[in-house]
Amino acid sequence: MAKVASSLLAAFLPQALPSSVPETEPSRSVSRPQKVITMEEVSWHDSANDCWIIIYDRVYDVTGFLQEHPGGDELLLEYAGREASGAFRGAGHSVSAVRSLDKFWIGELPINERIFRKQGGLK
């Protein structure tokens, strides 16, 4: 009888439970940009038609987000083509705002130009 019960339980359990638990955070290993972009290259992208910013040594193309930014496009354009970590930190962005950056992430600064991180982690 115990054998039958355990067989039924084994047959029923995989269907009753989800195959995977949803993650609370997006995976950092999925579609991670490998492109190295210099500060000089970022500086060329400094307009409303082509707006890149640097936040914590990562390069983001926020051109398509300018009109959607809750604080207005002028705040982002002030840092177009430049380092914006201090302004980003000072604005007190929510956790969801920080996570939303991933969709704009296009590359990282070369190791010798990084301010906040060394390869493999924080300073």
pLDDT tens-digit profile of 39-61? 999 999 999 999 999 999 999 99
The pTM assigned to this predicted structure is 0.69
Which position has the higher pLDDT, 76 or 122?
Answer: 76
Which position has the higher pLDDT, 102 or 119?
Answer: 102
Could you tell me how far CA 97 lies from the centroid of its own chain?
A: 9
- Tell me the pLDDT band of 9, cut-offs 50, 70 and 90: very low
- Whether 85 contacts 116, CB under 8 Å: yes
Q: What domains are defined for the chain?
A: 33-122 (3.10.120.10)
- CA–CA dist 115, 54 (Å, integer): 10
